[in-house]
Structure 1
Amino acid sequence: MATAPEVRSADANIRAIAISTIVLGFAADPMARWAWPDPSEYLRIMPRFVNAFGGRAFEHGTAYVTEGGRAAALWLPPGVEPDEAEMGAIMEETLRPEIAEDISVVTKGMAEHHPRGPHWYLPLVAADPNWIGQGLGALLMKHALRRCDEEGIAAYLESSNPRNLSFYERHGFEIVGRIQSGSSPVLTPMLRPAS
């Protein structure tokens, strides 16, 4: 009888694997590929972006992976934010001038929708495309949300792919807005109230 895959905290030894899994998982993501449409640029920049956006999860023991790094989720605990300075530097160095203004509006929209009170933030969750459809995302989500419920704290994310909205809704997230500017894809802020 096969055992269910385990979820564990990703330590420094598997940080690179977790980041690579997220890079693979976002390879067809509308927002990521709008920002970096050239495949070589995407592969060069995205690992650094993932690290800036959700990398602090590794320091807090809240970067979760399934067996073999097949799926990964970077959760930021209450009070922990992405590395805004590094994200800004990445954008400044790499973004095409024609989308700079739209990115600025999207970033402002993200700040406006971000909850003010204590909350867990999920900047990034993805499965290696080779393992999609195996329930690994649901496993990661349940693992983290159990802690949110134990602590009685809300969870928040922005979905950059409309195909994922129903997945998040099944896990109790509700759409709380819509962020879009010019040529940008829609970013959907979603909140799971404290239970």
Structure 2
Amino acid sequence: MIVYRSLEVTLEETTIRQGGWEDEELLGALLSVSFSADPFVRWLMPKSVDFLQDSPKHPRRAYSQAFNAGTIYVIGDFAGAAVWLPPGTKKTDRSEEIALAAPPSEGSGHSFPAEFPALISQSAAYCPSEPHWYLGLIAVDPAYRGRGLGAKLMEHCLTFVDRDGMPAYLESTNSANMSLYERFGFKLLAEVRVGSAPPRFPMLRPAQK
């Protein structure tokens, strides 16, 4: 496993640093506040108890390889974070696929919607076959939104994507975030809809020559 090294940088008095396993709990807490109104996540877990119990488990379940590779980036005092999966990461590590085999709160009686597997399968069809960086998530604490922190995280992280000369891929679960991705060169590949599920938006940023 390659470990990606990055120096801390200061952008308008906001530091971006690499996260590690010691940040697992903090990342889970960030997810619990930043994705509380995400259409896809709350479609999966409409009950608040399921959502809150699952958030602390999600980083380890979905992004172990990002922790090990040093490709988690934190801005400020955990005002936001971006999680990238490096080229060569097995697609079985993607959070939704792991979640299929790991119910969010055992014993709660919660199960995922019937459309879930088809939605993931149809979305995955747009994932590049060639090596690429995968943006697993980018999150900003609602208390710090409107300050451009998401854009600063994206700009910082795309420097190593471009250094490697590789494409970047993501699947947005919220149409409100697409303008940020488009600003940084991501192109919409499709709007994937299955039954009652909220749409997913596969997006690709071609390699920058």
Query: TM-score scaled to structure 1, two decimals?
Result: 0.91
Q: Does 1:96 align with 2:111?
A: yes
**Equivalent residue number for residue 19 of structure 2:** 10
* Deviation for aligned residue 1:182: 0.7
Question: How many angstroms apart in 2 are the aligned matches of 1:88 and 1:96?
Answer: 9
**Equivalent residue number for residue 62 of structure 2:** 53
* Deviation for aligned residue 1:177: 1.2
Question: How many angstroms apart in 1 are the aligned matches of 2:53 and 2:101?
Answer: 15
**Equivalent residue number for residue 155 of structure 2:** 142
Checking the alignment, whether the CA contact within 8 Å between 2:27 and 2:59 is kept in structure 1 is no
Match 2:189 to one of 171, 176, 186? 176
The number of aligned residues is 192
Matching of residues 59-138 of structure 1 within 5 Å: 59-81=68-90, 83=93, 86-91=98-103, 95-96=110-111, 99-100=113-114, 102-138=115-151
Question: How many angstroms apart in 2 are the aligned matches of 1:20 and 1:133?
Answer: 20
The 3-state SS of whatever aligns with 2:57 is helix
- Once the two structures are superposed, what CA deviation does each residue of 1:133-160 show, in whole Å capped at 9, x if it has no partner? 1111111111111111111100000000
* Deviation for aligned residue 1:96: 3.2
Residue 68 of structure 1 aligns with an amino acid whose one-letter code is: D
Residue 89 of structure 1 aligns with an amino acid whose one-letter code is: A
Checking the alignment, whether the CA contact within 8 Å between 1:55 and 1:74 is kept in structure 2 is no
- Once the two structures are superposed, what CA deviation does each residue of 1:73-104 show, in whole Å capped at 9, x if it has no partner? 1100001135367423224967536x22x101
From the superposition, tell whether residues 167 and 113 of structure 1 become closer, same or farther in structure 2 (CA, over 3 Å): same
Checking the alignment, whether the CA contact within 8 Å between 2:24 and 2:59 is kept in structure 1 is no
Flag the structure with higher helix content: 1
Structure 1 unaligned regions, length at least 5: none
Question: How many angstroms apart in 2 are the aligned matches of 1:175 and 1:27?
Answer: 24
From the superposition, tell whether residues 109 and 49 of structure 1 become closer, same or farther in structure 2 (CA, over 3 Å): farther
Question: How many angstroms apart in 2 are the aligned matches of 1:32 and 1:181?
Answer: 15
Checking the alignment, whether the CA contact within 8 Å between 1:49 and 1:90 is kept in structure 2 is no
* Deviation for aligned residue 1:107: 1.2
Structure 2 unaligned regions, length at least 5: 1-10
